[in-house]
């Protein structure tokens, strides 16, 4: 063998492509290592002198006879893909090129196409999956080139854009949508290309004479080299959501109107109660003065009942009006420097005089530092404290203690009112500041259920806050915190 032939042979031996030669009778005279590997042989010995037919299944032999060899004879060569059989019996796709050699032998080049075919099959499966998902998504998806021509629209997209899938492909927004919508879409596309990031937008299309509102996210699609080659868009139909949001807003507005009407009604009615109450109180006073003295116990009892009812009604009216005023307007709140020490002492003295006559074994104690002042509306602070102390006394048993403790901490004035009464059930504590709420364990103790609402509002009007801890059967502690250095009252809007 000369050098040139040696080089050629070396190249063929090292080739990543299978190569074999047959004689004119079709028996193998040479097979390179790659060809041997493709078909599962280890050595040329296994194939030399054997006919080429040993490498193919019956159906391939038939095709060879009918199609391949006639073409090979006519053209001198043939190229195609044909099923072949490995030594272990596995059939695979062989990429085969045949050429007729001088003297009638055949040279064949071959490659195993099975991995490529598998890849194509896998690709086809992925594509089918992709389409199955994308077409059944309740979102519209569209992909277009950077020049704006649509290259993909999913089924939902076709529905939303009213475009038949194929008719959108290759077209630009300006050919598919009214000018103003197209301009909006193109503007977003430009923004995406400029920023290189996703852009959110909203599109309103007219469908069946109704607005179709789409929320859109448009984003760049980047190729392997990092270049933006396409623009993707995902569109969500939010028409229903928008409609519901509008409905909810309308309902909320109507509710607000109703609350305002209710508030005005309550104020009006309560106000109107004042005249008859005044008349009732006056008449009751005179009647009792004239008839009550020297009458029997029954008559005295009737007068007491009448007076109690008048007082209860009066208190209810006062509280409703006070709460109404606190909730919706703070214009009547007037801050002056009040002496907390004097105020609390006065209140406690009054309670000691009046209520301890009814609950002789209840102890009401009070610890207030001297000369404590606060910028506040005295009427409101008084109302808050009276409500809390009155509650503490009302719901306390005999031989227990109600303690009032006043202190300053940091920039706050803290007023604590503790009792050892029946407490508030844990599961009801979250609603105890709601108007007209009364805990389930109040029994027959009278009350309007407005006191704590008033306390809370009164404290909030001073930019203060209220905290409490309560355990059923063990007692309740309320703490009111008032800022010492913030004399600005809350406005009614900031109270919400």
Partner 1 sequence: MNPKPLLLIVEDDPLIRATLEMLLLDEGYEVLSAPDGQVALDLLLAGAKPAMILSDIRMPNKNGHELLQSLRQLPAFDDVPFVFLSAKAAVSDVCTGMVMGADDYISKPFDPVTALESIRVRLALAKRIRSARREPT
The residues that touch partner 1, with contacts defined as CB under 8 A, are 271, 274-279, 281-283, 285-286, 289, 314, 317-318, 321, 325, 331-332, 334, 379
Residue 121 sits at the vertex; the CA angle it makes with 116 and 122, to the nearest 5 degrees, is: 95
CB of 316 to partner 1, least distance (A): 12
Minimum CB separation of residue 482 from partner 1 in Å reads 21
CB of 392 to partner 1, least distance (A): 25
Rounded-to-integer distance, Cα 165 and Cα 175, Å: 14
- CA dist., res. 76 & res. 99, Å (int): 6
Cα of 336 vs its chain's centroid, Å: 47
Q: How far is the CB of 291 from partner 1 (least distance, A)?
A: 13
Residues whose CB falls within 8 Å of the CB of residue 27, separated by 6 or more in sequence, listed in order = 48, 49, 50, 51, 52
How far CA 78 is from CA of 50, 85, 95, 406, in Å, comes to: 22, 19, 11, 107
Comparing CA positions, the residue from 325, 475, 472, 295 lying closest to residue 403 is 475
Contact 387, 451 (CB under 8 A): yes
**Rounded Cα–Cα distance for residues 388 and 404 (Å):** 10
Shortest Å distance, C-beta 260 to partner 1: 18
Cα 468 to Cα 357: distance, rounded to the nearest angstrom: 28
Shortest distance (Å) from residue 261 CB to partner 1: 19
SS3 state of residue 18: strand
Give the chain's radius of gyration (CA, Å).
Answer: 48
What is the C-alpha to C-alpha distance for residues 440 and 424, in angstroms, rounded to an integer? 8
Q: Give the nearer residue to partner 1 in terms of CB position, either 196 or 282.
A: 282
Q: Nearer Cβ to partner 1, position 49 or 276?
A: 276
Six-digit token pair at 332?
């009547």
- Minimum Å distance from CB 390 to partner 1? 18
Helix (H/G/I), strand (E/B), else coil: 193? helix
How far apart, in whole angstroms, are the C-alpha atoms of residue 163 and residue 180? Answer: 18
Which CB sits closer to partner 1, 42 or 350? 350
Cα–Cα distance, 20 to 44 (Å, whole number): 10
Question: Min. distance of Cβ 204 from partner 1 in angstroms?
Answer: 50
């Amino acid at each position: 063998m000369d050098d040139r032939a040696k080089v050629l042979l070396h190249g063929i031996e090292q080739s990543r492509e299978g190569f074999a030669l047959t004689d004119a009778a079709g028996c193998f005279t040479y097979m390179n290592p790659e060809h041997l590997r493709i078909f599962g042989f280890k050595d040329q010995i296994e194939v030399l002198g054997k006919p080429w037919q040993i490498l193919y299944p019956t159906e391939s032999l038939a095709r060879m006879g009918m199609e391949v060899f006639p073409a090979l004879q006519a053209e001198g060569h043939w190229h195609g893909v044909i099923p072949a059989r490995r030594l272990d019996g596995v059939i695979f796709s062989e990429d085969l090129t045949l050429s007729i050699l001088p003297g009638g032998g055949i040279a064949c080049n071959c490659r195993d196409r099975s991995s490529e075919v598998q890849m194509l099959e896998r690709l086809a499966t992925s594509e089918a999956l992709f389409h199955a998902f994308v077409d059944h998504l309740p979102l519209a998806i569209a992909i277009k080139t950077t020049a704006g021509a649509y290259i993909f629209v999913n089924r939902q997209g076709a529905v939303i854009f009213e475009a038949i899938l194929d008719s959108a492909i290759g077209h630009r927004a300006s050919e598919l949508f009214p000018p103003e919508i197209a301009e909006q879409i193109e503007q977003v596309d430009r923004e995406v290309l400029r920023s290189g990031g996703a852009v959110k937008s909203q599109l309103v299309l007219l469908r069946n004479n109704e607005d179709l509102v789409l929320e859109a996210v448009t984003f760049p699609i980047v190729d392997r080299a990092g270049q933006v080659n396409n623009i993707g868009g995902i569109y969500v139909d939010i028409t229903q959501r928008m409609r519901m949001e509008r409905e909810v807003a309308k309902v909320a507005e109507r509710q607000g109107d109703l609350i305002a009407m209710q508030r005005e009604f309550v104020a009006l009615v309560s106000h109107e109660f004042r005249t008859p109450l005044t008349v009732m109180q006056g008449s009751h006073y005179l009647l009792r003065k004239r008839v009550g003295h020297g009458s029997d116990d029954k008559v005295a009892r009737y007068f007491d009942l009448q007076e109690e009812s008048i007082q209860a009604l009066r208190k209810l009216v006062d509280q409703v009006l006070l709460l109404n005023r606190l909730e919706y307007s703070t214009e009547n709140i007037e801050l002056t420097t009040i002496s907390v020490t004097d105020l609390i002492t006065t209140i406690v003295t009054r309670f000691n005089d009046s209520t301890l006559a009814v609950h002789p074994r209840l102890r009401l104690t009070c610890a207030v530092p001297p000369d404590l002042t606060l910028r506040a509306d005295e009427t409101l602070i008084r109302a808050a404290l009276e409500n809390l102390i009155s509650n503490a006394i009302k719901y306390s048993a005999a031989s227990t203690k109600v303690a009032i403790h006043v202190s300053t901490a940091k920039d706050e004035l803290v007023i604590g009112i503790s009792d050892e009464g029946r407490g508030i059930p844990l599961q009801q504590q979250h609603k105890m500041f709601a108007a007209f709420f009364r805990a389930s364990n109040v029994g027959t103790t009278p009350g309007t259920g407005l006191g704590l609402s008033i306390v809370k509002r009164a404290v909030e009007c001073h930019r203060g806050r209220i905290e409490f801890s309560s355990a059923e059967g063990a007692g309740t502690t309320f703490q009111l915190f008032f800022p010492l250095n913030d004399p600005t009252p809350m406005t009614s809007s900031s109270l919400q």
